[in-house]
């Protein structure tokens, strides 16, 4: 692995690029278009964003606090057991399918374009966390806000957040590629 500072910079770059690519596709689309669902089992574009918000809000608060107290890097970061498992469950590769915990299921009600704005605000905070952690210890532990028994390393939570976003923004892009998507 490259240095941890490079890894963090690459994580931020990847995250920003995905945000920009997806945001450019949303330009000029209405809330009605972005709430469109091809069937009752598939989330709309805005539901994909709402799900990410529900997942990322608690994590960003934890990550911001840990950024303030994380010590200087002592050892190289290597993903932990839970980190490796969670990446398989939430990453875009979809290696291990699991049901979505109830608190993370997006609203069935039509969502507004504010959902996207809120997502971008959370992303700005996430990118700031990534920059502020350069040179700090990514092996520090945190407890998942959704499962008390899941202990993640700080680096695992960062990687998981970026990969989870990629998964759902990929799904949003696939929706917009469907021939039935309202144009």
CATH number for 58? 1.20.120.450
- Cβ-in-10-Å burial (0-12, 13-18, 19+) of 123 comes to buried
Parent domain of 170:
4-177
Inform me whether the pLDDT recorded for 133 exceeds 70: yes
CB 34 within 8 A of CB 26: yes
In a domain, 137, yes or no: yes
In a domain, 182, yes or no: no
Report pLDDT digits (tens) over 116-129.
Answer: 999 999 999 999 99
Average pLDDT across the chain, whole number: 92
Average pLDDT estimate for 102-118: 96
Confidence of residue 1 (pLDDT cuts 50, 70, 90): very low
Residue 47 or 74, more confident: 47
Average pLDDT estimate for 99-122: 95
In a domain, 28, yes or no: yes
For residue 51, give every residue at least 6 positions away whose Cβ sits within 8 Å of its Cβ, in sequence order, or none: 43, 100, 104, 105, 106, 168
The total domain count for the chain is: 1
């Amino acid at each position: 692995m490259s240095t941890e500072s490079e890894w963090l910079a690459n994580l931020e770059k990847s995250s920003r690029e995905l945000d920009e690519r997806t945001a450019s596709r949303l330009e000029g689309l209405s809330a009605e278009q972005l709430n469109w669902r091809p069937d009752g089992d598939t989330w709309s574009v805005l539901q994909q964003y709402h799900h990410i918000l529900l997942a990322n809000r608690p994590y960003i608060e934890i990550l911001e606090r840990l950024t303030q107290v994380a010590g200087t890097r002592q050892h190289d970061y290597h993903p932990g057991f839970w980190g490796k498992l969670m990446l398989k469950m939430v990453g875009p590769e979809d290696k291990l399918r699991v049901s979505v915990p109830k608190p993370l299921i997006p609203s069935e009600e039509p969502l507004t374009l504010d959902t996207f704005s809120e997502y971008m605000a959370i992303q700005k905070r996430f990118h700031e966390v990534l920059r502020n952690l350069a040179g700090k210890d990514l092996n520090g532990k945190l407890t998942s806000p959704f499962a008390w028994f899941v202990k993640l390393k700080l680096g695992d939570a960062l990687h998981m957040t970026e990969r989870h976003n990629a998964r759902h923004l990929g799904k949003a892009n696939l929706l917009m590629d469907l021939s039935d998507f309202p144009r």
